[in-house]
Structure 1
């Protein structure tokens, strides 16, 4: 089996059931076999995200923001925005395997497991969206995570720093704040279902960030960076991608510590205290 051909099909498909079947196929194969690299294999650069035919893509500044979750549409807008992040994360996890064939089987299994989690997260949110009377693609989306994947395609160390250790870690900061805002509406069965789903996603995303942390540090060592300089390397990458100036109203100290961040890093990201 050539997993890279299968992964390519999974990445470009906009059918979640196809993505799920192909991801499972690759994960089963990698758990049972070593994966050889085809000598002439060159990963493709994808020119558009797989959701292009499903969603209207706009600039982030043009997205509608809703703070009122009392209406079905308001709640659906929130569910849709989170579902889109999870959908995007599926393709990023698959691409992390597809694009860097030189990486070990343990690395491949880690990111295929992440992709499987993201598929399940999307399916839970999509089911809730349908229950609310909407579908994935009913609201505009942005392609920021797709752009992040393309921008880091040339460098796996950058990819591990930017995608799991920056964007996904930022989700750990945001999720508890969303849950807190929804909490006084939990008597609504659909709001309660969303809160329960967000708790599941939050717990599993800590593991995803931890996997990113593990491979980031592994790659730092592999690329010859001195032990103890990983933090310096990380912030140099964030600065190079113009991400250090992004405002963080809340930094989730405990979750980031659990996901591999040092207190020094957490304070540099904006936390006032970390022990």
Structure 2
């Protein structure tokens, strides 16, 4: 079995989503069993491998999506499946790109767990799409999700500030309403999947906050103003209200971080 970092690079280079999922679960289990070392010899690619489909468009070129009707729910689930596929790679890229001999084991415990859960999320959504007569790749998807990774490829705190602490935190804000809309639309199976994703991602935001604060403490820098500066540098937009304060509080993500950046 290759090292954790080498496994992460192998997963990033796997184009087929099912291969990516299987390799993720295998690497996560090996890590939990303490069967592999951390560091290796390989470096992550700037962009992960992707299947031939879905067609990737610029965000502004994506068709508008409405939840009404089965077609709307399929479009929603497809978009979420694409987000979760990117989330698998974002977790492994964080490990592969920023691992050092001094990084605490707890960091890898957290992010391997995150990657393993993101793989489960993508698989659940893909299975649900097939149950509805569609599949991942049947619709276009936008290619803006990896931009944050490219822009923070050399900035550990920047990566944490934008990916878990802006993008995933935003998921905490919007997912409960989406769950309710799916239930009202008579689709409890899809609603249960989103509820599972929502519950797991409270932990993902918590991991982002924990390691952001750890790195700030290690560098002797105040976390809240550093977060503000990095979000303004890399996200370059106001954060959207309303915030799901109870979920953010469960993640230990205090309002002092995000409220001053809101519209």
When normalised by structure 1's length, the TM-score is: 0.87
5+ residue gaps, structure 1, are: none
Match of 1:26 in 2: 27
CA distance in 1, matches of 2:179, 2:97: 35
Question: In structure 2, do the counterparts of structure 1 residues 147 and 267 end up closer, same or farther at CA, with 3 Å as the change threshold?
Answer: closer
User: Is contact 1:121-1:201 (8 Å) kept?
Assistant: yes
Shift of 1:249: 4.1
Shift of 1:51: 2.5
1:144-183 superposed matches below 5 A: 144-183=144-183
Where does structure 1 differ by over 6 angstroms across 4 or more consecutive aligned residues?
A: none
CA distance in 2, matches of 1:265, 1:161: 10
When normalised by structure 2's length, the TM-score is: 0.91
SS at match of 1:54: coil
CA distance in 2, matches of 1:33, 1:204: 25
Alignment deviations for residues 85-136 of structure 1 (CA, whole Å, 9 cap, x no partner):
1111011011111111213322112111111101111111111101111111
Shift of 1:11: 1.1
CA distance in 1, matches of 2:156, 2:213: 12
Shift of 1:42: 5.9
1:188-203 superposed matches below 5 A: 191-203=187-199
Match of 1:206 in 2: 202
Match of 1:75 in 2: 73
Alignment deviations for residues 210-263 of structure 1 (CA, whole Å, 9 cap, x no partner):
0111000001111221xxx211110100111143435x1421111111112213
> Is 1:138 aligned to residue 138 of structure 2?
yes
CA distance in 2, matches of 1:163, 1:221: 20
> Is 1:265 aligned to residue 263 of structure 2?
no
Moved more, 231-240 or 256-265: 256-265
User: Is contact 1:55-1:137 (8 Å) kept?
Assistant: yes
Match of 1:9 in 2: 10
User: Is contact 1:57-1:143 (8 Å) kept?
Assistant: yes
Number of paired residues? 259
User: Is contact 1:34-1:105 (8 Å) kept?
Assistant: no
